[in-house]
């Protein structure tokens, strides 16, 4: 199946850092700052939402790889946003450049790979 997706698709999502987004809440650390796993989730969601509208109804993209650097801590109450750009398409594999920011500057950067799948077939295979 062919997909109507082209390089250059951009995404942007913004959140307010709450306790539930902190390293202390995730268990990935002991401090109440924006957690690396929360940043990864924001990056994945930004990429996923940026391309979903271009996929046929039965298809979704699933995250398969992420390589990021968390550059700076962000405290609770601050706004954080992620920007993504689709930089490469290899069949059903989509490769994104991602960056995360707060009001002080860049807090994270890296790449993320997603794979286009038929949602029903994907879930069916999990049950086998």
Please provide residue 3's backbone torsions phi and psi, each rounded to the nearest 5 degrees: -120, 145
* Tally: H helices and E strands in the chain: 3, 5
Total-model pTM:
0.96
Q: How many residues does the chain have?
A: 128
| Confidence (pLDDT) at 120 | 97
pLDDT in tens, 95-127: 999 999 999 999 999 999 999 999 999 999 998
Using a pLDDT cut of 70, give the percent of the chain over it.
Answer: 100
In terms of Cβ atoms closer than 10 Å to its own Cβ (0-12, 13-18, 19+), residue 41 is middle
Give the pLDDT confidence of 47-61 residue by residue, as tens digits.
999 999 999 999 999
DSSP annotation of 75 reads B
Sheet containing 105-118: which strands, arranged edge to edge?
10-16, 79-90, 93-102, 105-118, 59-70
């Amino acid at each position: 199946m062919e997909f109507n997706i082209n390089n250059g698709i951009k995404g942007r999502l913004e959140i307010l850092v709450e306790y539930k987004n902190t390293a202390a809440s995730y268990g990935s650390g002991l401090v109440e700052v924006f957690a690396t796993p929360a940043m990864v989730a924001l990056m994945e969601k930004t990429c996923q939402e940026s391309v979903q509208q271009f996929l046929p109804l039965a298809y979704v993209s699933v995250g398969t790889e992420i390589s990021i650097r968390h550059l700076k801590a962000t405290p609770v109450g601050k706004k954080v946003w992620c920007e993504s750009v689709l930089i490469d398409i290899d069949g059903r594999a989509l490769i994104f450049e991602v960056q995360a920011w707060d009001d002080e500057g860049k807090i994270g950067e890296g790449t993320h790979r997603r794979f286009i799948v038929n949602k029903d077939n994907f879930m069916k295979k999990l049950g086998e």
